[in-house]
């Protein structure tokens, strides 16, 4: 147990340091080096999360994957980013299966919304629809509903991407209604616009 805990702590700290290095490299225009740093960070943080399930490491892992997916899309193509995002989603599926939605539901929804957005960017609306439908089913489960925060930024992100999907598939009125649900998830209200919102680079804020 002591050995596993020390490995988890070391992997978590190393992953965090690699994310910071990647951010510096990205700001300096060294995009390939940043991609490699984020990939290393994701590898170490995945080890930390699987060993100990620490929430802070899980959030860092989600950010590392988001940055990595974004840079893969820039350096390769959206399809390459989509492939990596699918791999990231598989990890969150395993964690949800092990510990339940109450523990990992927010990160899982984040991964679904990111993957749906990337699928849209890669001109794969049918795949995006599958991820959005899966995310929508979780909103209705008591396990998630009982632990959902307010504002629920991950639910809002899912509704936001669904609104984009609806608008691009020729259903503007439904897109407008879905924008309203996104605002409701944030505890906000006001006029909505059916224009595509600005993309979320890497989809997560540091």
Alpha-carbon distance of 187 to 152, in angstroms, equals 8
Alpha-carbon distance of 202 to 85, in angstroms, equals 11
CB 74 within 8 A of CB 29: no
Classify residue 3 as exposed, middle or buried by CB count within 10 Å of its CB (0-12, 13-18, 19+): exposed
Mean pLDDT across the chain: 83
Return the top range by mean pLDDT from 99-108, 124-133, 137-146.
124-133
Alpha-carbon distance of 111 to 78, in angstroms, equals 16
Alpha-carbon distance of 73 to 82, in angstroms, equals 8
Residue 80's pLDDT is 81
What stretch(es) of the chain map to CATH 1.20.58? 1-76
Each residue of 170-192: pLDDT tens digit? 999 999 999 999 999 898 654 44
How does DSSP assign 51-63, residue by residue? HH--HHHHHHHHH
Alpha-carbon distance of 112 to 129, in angstroms, equals 10
Q: What does each C-alpha distance from 156 to 132, 179, 191 come to in angstroms?
A: 12, 9, 16
Is the pLDDT reported for residue 134 higher than 90?
Answer: yes
CB 57 within 8 A of CB 42: no
Q: Give the position of tokens 């940055």.
A: 67
Q: Give percent above pLDDT 70 in the chain.
A: 88
| Element spanning 176, H or E | helix 172-185
| Element spanning 186, H or E | none
Q: What is the pTM of this model?
A: 0.72
Residue 5's pLDDT is 53
Q: Point out the least confidently predicted range of 16-20, 131-135, 194-198.
A: 194-198
Please name the fold of domain 1-76. Methane Monooxygenase Hydroxylase; Chain G, domain 1 (1.20.58)
CB 72 within 8 A of CB 80: yes
Taking residues 103-126, what's their average pLDDT?
A: 89
Q: 69 falls in which pLDDT band (50, 70, 90)?
A: confident
Is the pLDDT reported for residue 119 higher than 70?
Answer: yes
Q: 116 falls in which pLDDT band (50, 70, 90)?
A: very high
């Amino acid at each position: 147990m002591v050995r596993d805990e020390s490995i988890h702590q070391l992997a978590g700290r190393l992953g965090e340091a690699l994310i910071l290095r990647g951010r510096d490299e990205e700001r300096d225009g060294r995009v390939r080096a940043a991609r490699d740093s984020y990939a290393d960070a994701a590898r170490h943080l995945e080890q930390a999360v699987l060993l100990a399930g620490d929430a802070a490491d899980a959030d860092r892992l989600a950010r590392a994957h988001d940055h990595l997916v974004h840079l893969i899309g820039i350096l390769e193509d959206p399809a390459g980013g989509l492939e990596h995002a699918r791999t990231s989603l598989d990890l969150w599926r395993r964690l949800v299966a092990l510990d339940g939605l109450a523990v990992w539901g927010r990160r899982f929804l984040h991964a679904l919304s990111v993957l749906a957005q990337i699928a849209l960017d890669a001109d794969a609306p049918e795949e995006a629809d599958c991820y959005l439908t899966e995310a929508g089913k979780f909103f209705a489960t008591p396990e998630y509903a009982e632990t959902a925060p307010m504002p629920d930024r991950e639910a809002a992100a899912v509704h936001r991407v669904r609104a984009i999907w609806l608008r691009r598939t020729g259903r503007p009125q439904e897109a407008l209604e879905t924008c309203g649900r996104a605002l409701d998830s944030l505890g906000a209200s006001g006029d909505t616009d059916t224009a595509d919102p600005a993309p979320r680079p890497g989809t997560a804020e540091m």
